Amino acid sequence: MLYYASFKQMNQSEQFSEIIATYLKHGWRLERVLLRTETRAAIESATASTLEETLFQHASVSESMVNALWFKRTAQATGREAWELRLVSDSPYALFETFEADEAEEDREDVRREMESRLIETTNNARSDQSS
């Protein structure tokens, strides 16, 4: 059982790394990380450094009900900012939003919180469907 838990967590760390590498390759920047409590504990116990310094490249890490990554990319020509919230799972799923250059940060943050709520709701519904 312990072997299975270690193997599963190793794969989850690899999953985070692969997703991050893919987004970075396409010009995105990792801004925030949402982690389930058990995921954070398992990853931290496997590394000597903090998550922010290693796996997550100094992005802020917050506790959540889902494992997800926030990426940001700014369009050079228009100054518009794109944010994508990517669920870390076997099935790729993401929510996307763009913001105007002059949009207030408070309004942007409200939209991002809404996106997080939608992602949590979607994953909870998917879990309910699987257990039925």
Quote the CA–CA distance of 18 and 26 in Å, as a whole number: 13
Q: Taking 60 as the threshold, does the pLDDT of residue 65 lie above it? A: yes
Quote the CA–CA distance of 75 and 83 in Å, as a whole number: 11
Q: Which domain holds residue 52?
A: 2-131
- Considering the chain, what is the average pLDDT of its residues? 85
Question: In the prediction, which pLDDT does 10 show?
Answer: 45
State pLDDT tens for residues 11-64.
Answer: 677 889 899 999 999 999 999 999 999 988 877 776 655 555 567 878 999 999
Question: In the prediction, which pLDDT does 95 show?
Answer: 98
Residue with tokens 């506790």: 63
Q: Taking 50 as the threshold, does the pLDDT of residue 5 lie above it? A: no
Rounded to a whole number of angstroms, the CA Rg of the chain reads: 16
Q: How many domains does the chain have?
A: 1
